[in-house]
Structure 1
Amino acid sequence: MPTHTKAVSSTRIMALMLGLALVLLSVKFGAYFLTNSNAILTDALESIINFVTGGVALYSVYLAAKPKDLDHPYGHGKIELISSGLEGALISLAGIAIMVKSVYNLLYPQPIQKMDLGILLTLVTGAVNYAAGRYLVRRGTQEHSLTIIANGKHLLSDAYSSLGLVIGLGCIYFTNILWLDSVVAIIFGSFITYTGYGIVRHSISGVMDEADLQLMDRIITVLNQRRRENWIDLHNLRVIKYGSQLHIDCHLTLPWYFNLQESHKEVEILQEIITQEMGDVVELFVHLDPCLPPASCRLCTKSDCRLREHEFVGRVEWTLDNVSENQKHSL
């Protein structure tokens, strides 16, 4: 799917999710006013965050999809890191607010009513959030969109919270022990706070361009599997994420006698392999190095080289450790 088409589709999806968040927000607050349950209020308060962050996410996806310009030569994808960080911070604040109110209600208990209806509404909204969250995480992973993934994980955490609340509310319903309502709310307020912290931590890592070791290992594995004889060495591999866009830098060692046209062809093949694996979100920058006989000959697998100055000793398997280093490999 072309990048522009993906962007339009993602924007529409986030707009639909914003509308869904508003509907679920109304249902959850309705359940709270019917029951006066502090635990149900925790679910309703988190839905406010769902709606606010849904709006931020919608704008973020729209802005990230804008093409590069003179002011933003790497695109606008970094906005997704800011968006997900804001979402995580708001989630944590909601969790803290839930715990504070729950402690208050432990000290000053309030009567609870119509618990059966509250349980039903919580279960329904939790199921909807779970389905929406699973879809967003899968879609965001396919499009390398941190905003969509963060929004999906938020909905999943909301769904898990709802399930826990249903269990807790069920205990309250059958035992009539009212203080359990606040205890359940404190437990899931803590869970919500921790979820928000995880999202903030991930977004900060992106802003600081922290290496995504799992992503790099995936790329290295593919290059090892489809390695060509002409690719004598690969090193100084770096991957930087700008929203859904991936910027990959590396040094590729080729036979020193290759002309410009031959070298360019090898770079095109490298680009094609990475694009097939990662999709059309990759911008590749390759620095070409000439081989240095006889040291390079020892690890060169090129069988038809007429200028070899040393016998082949062994192939160097590319790994996360040796490909990340800024130096040629040797035997």
Structure 2
Amino acid sequence: MQTAQQNIRIQWWVAILSITLLLIKLIAYYLTHSVSILTDALEGIVNVVAGFVGLYSLYVSAKPRDTDHPYGHGKIEFISASLEGAMIFLAGSAILFQGVMSLFNPEPLHQLDIGILLVSITGVINFIVGKVCVNNGKKNNSSALIASGKHLLSDAYSTLAIIIGLGLLYFTQWQWVDSIVAIGFSFFILYTGFSIVKSSLAGIMDEADEALLKKLVDVLEKNRKENWIDLHNVRIIKYGSTLHLDCHLTVPWYLNVHEAHKEIDILAALVRQEFGDSLELFVHSDGCLDFSCKVCEKKDCPVRKHTFEKRIEWDLHNLVSNEKHKVN
């Protein structure tokens, strides 16, 4: 809950700053009539909408689970992120259109020095806040916060390109530079929006996060215990800032319920040490079978029926399979 509240506080700052920065960009456009600055202002409008959408999604995501939502409300973060990505894509399309139009119908520009100063201020602020959002989003497993951060960073990079273009225009008086900069960065904004939508849809569809799974597999392989004869059917599902881990752990069949549960507790402590308390575990314990002896490294097993033949290295491929490991 403390993590969720931290995410909400950061998003509140994002929403408030987005309004302030939009006003600065609109003032810069009013003073200069630059289509590049207008494109930046258009994305600023998206920032305002996205900021409050992200804030609402984090508020809903922080709600405790209930009978209607037994896994919590975290999935709304993926919906929020996909909506934000779609808005970024639409903003990129509008910027592309405006850039092409201004290329053929240019307007005289004014007070470029003041305009460059104003948009520079917004770019620096967006970069700092975007980095804070992305870092905290990764730390707290928040898709909504990561999406907001990437959006702000893309805005900062587009602002940098606009500053460079306006600087070139200021010294050369080449009017077409203003339009070319807007057109060029519209493609970057379109790509950013598409990437966010693609990532969000993957989360909604519970697409396997291979990087996360590989990290988990490496931790388990390096720290596997003697009584952990086999591990399989490993799955990680993400619900907002909460990770759900499902797996089947094979232990010696003669362990009683309390002893088997102790092995699960050891595994849970190991995983939480790596991933934090935002991870929930659902571990199903299996008793070993006769063929398990050939891959079991337990040295003092009182009921061994076959000699040990081969250690099965746990990797991303064989842990996600829903089959107990055996020597072929």
TM-score under structure 1 length normalisation = 0.97
Report the CA distance between 1:122 and its aligned residue. Answer: 1.5
One-letter identity of the residue aligned with 1:207: I
Q: Report the equivalent of 1:301.
A: 297
Question: 3-state DSSP class of the match of 2:234?
Answer: strand
SS class of match (1:283): strand
Q: How many angstroms apart in 1 are the aligned matches of 2:4 and 2:77?
A: 13
* Structural RMSD (CA): 0.9
Match of 1:326 in 2: 322
SS of alignment partner, residue 216 of structure 2: helix
**1:216 aligned to which of 187, 197, 213:** 213
Aligned-pair distance for 1:314? 2.4
TM-score where L is the length of structure 2 = 0.98
1:206 maps to 2:219: no
Paired residue for 1:279, among 276, 280, 284? 276
Match of 1:110, SS state, is coil
Q: How far has the Cα of 1:12 moved from its partner?
A: 1.4
User: What is the alpha-carbon distance in structure 2 between the residues aligned to residue 239 and residue 228 of structure 1?
Assistant: 21
Is it true that 1:266 corresponds to 2:274 in the alignment?
no
Correspondence list, 1:123-162, <5 A: 123-162=120-159
1:316 is aligned to: 312
Instruction: Determine the structure 2 residue equivalent to 1:21.
Output: 18
User: How many residue pairs get matched?
Assistant: 327
2:249 aligned with 1:239: no
**CA distance in structure 2 between the aligned counterparts of 1:315 and 1:277, rounded to whole angstroms:** 25
In structure 2, runs of 5+ residues without a counterpart are none
Sequence identity, in percent?
54
In 2, the alpha carbon distance for the partners of 1:274 and 1:71 equals 28
Provide the secondary structure at the position in 1 that maps to 2:231: strand
DSSP-derived class of the 1:240 partner: strand
Aligned to 1:5: 2
SS at match of 1:223: helix
Cα distance in structure 1, aligned partners of 2:6 and 2:164: 37
Matching of residue 187 in structure 1 with residue 172 in structure 2: no
Q: Partners in 1 of 2:84 and 2:124 — Cα distance? A: 22
Question: What does residue 163 of structure 2 align with?
Answer: 166
* Equivalent in the alignment of 1:95: 92
Matched, 1:108 2:105: yes
Shift of 1:108: 0.9
Structure 1 residue identity aligned to 2:306: H
Deviations 1:201-257 (A, max 9, x none): 011101111000000001111111111100001111111111111111111111011
Residue type of the partner of 1:164?
A: A
